[in-house]
Structure 1
Amino acid sequence: MVKPLPVDVTSPEAVYQGMKRAGIDFVVSVPCLNLKEVIPMVDRDPDIIHVPVTREEEGVGVCAGAYMGGKRPAMLMQNSGLGNSVNALASLNQLYGIPLVMIISHRGVEGEPICAQVPMGELTTQLLEILEIPYFIPDSKADAIEKIQVAWKTALEGRRPSAVLLPIPFWR
């Protein structure tokens, strides 16, 4: 039985609960300011193998290997890293039908204080559409839990990557 979500759940707790409820048991992470509280939650969980990496394309490959080994992989990353991982997503995951959920901190959108984040922020959804990667944007913390589960189901059934975009207002 799935425990109900506490009323005062934080954004990091919602992301973590979404992964847990989706059955994610292998997580690759790339450092990100917005994900800084989620990563330790994953790292402490004895039911999740956590592999920190320095580049997103490396994470795509590690997750592909984990899936081939029977795991349910997700990658925690910032949207700027989506550009870094395009070739790996297309030539590995999409070509060979390997599911992956990318939980993406969507920088460069409403409320972004750093102008250098804006160009990729504006291109993120277009890039996902060009790559034919389904994506979900939750409208609340509770919805994030649901969308992460739906993203895993979509990735598994479609044998392809999917993404959950978490914009700046989600983290407030």
Structure 2
Amino acid sequence: MDPSTSVFNGMRMAGIDLVVSVPCVNLKDILPMIDNDPNIIHVPVTREEEGVGICAGAYMGGKVPAMLMQNSGLGNSINALASLNKLFHIPLVLIMSHRGIEGETICAQVPMGQLTPSLLDSMDIPYVVPTIDNVEDAIIHAWNIAADKGRPVAVLLEIGFWEAE
């Protein structure tokens, strides 16, 4: 199975029914799958902190939210994640294309790529780094932790994850 389909299947199996997305080349093939699923609401946004707010409101309205984003957008969403999700115990799965690590071809991605795990750790946001073989279970696990602990949880999809495509 291709990586995008595996991510999509993991979201469906986790019960995710609202997806906010910020443009990312690695996540682009998942978007048509979401748009074609009548059980998932897709809300494209231009900035990550906007997505955090929409997901928080959707959760309060009974939805199971996830946000598709590139890790470079983590910096844009830190305040919203800390002052909204963490403070009010609102679960959210952040499915991130982890750019800027080994194998990256664009040097501008490297600084944030290297900082991403440390930023997540400093914000006390747990994260998993799945392979194609366990991404479905990893997304389910991420939502279970998010819902149980009332917090954001990240799923980091590293460059090697996409090599199966």
Q: TM-score range by the shorter chain?
A: over 0.9
Matched to 2:113, the amino acid is G
TM-score by structure 1 length?
0.94
Aligned residue for 1:100? Answer: 92
Question: Given the alignment of the two structures, is residue 12 of structure 1 paired with residue 15 of structure 2, yes or no?
Answer: no
Whole-Å separation in 2 of the counterparts to 1:113 and 1:102: 24
Matched to 2:156, the amino acid is L
Whole-Å separation in 2 of the counterparts to 1:114 and 1:58: 26
1:23-70 Cα shifts (integer Å, max 9, x gaps): 000000000000010111111110000000000000000000000000
Whole-Å separation in 2 of the counterparts to 1:93 and 1:70: 15
Q: How does 1:1-172 map to 2 (within 5 A)?
A: 9-138=1-130, 140-172=131-163
SS in 1 for 2:97: strand
Matched to 1:22, the amino acid is A
Unmatched segments (≥5 aa) in structure 1: 1-8
Give 1:142 shift: 2.6
Matched to 1:112, the amino acid is E
Whole-Å separation in 2 of the counterparts to 1:62 and 1:40: 20
Unmatched segments (≥5 aa) in structure 2: none
Identity over aligned pairs, percent? 65
SS in 2 for 1:74: strand
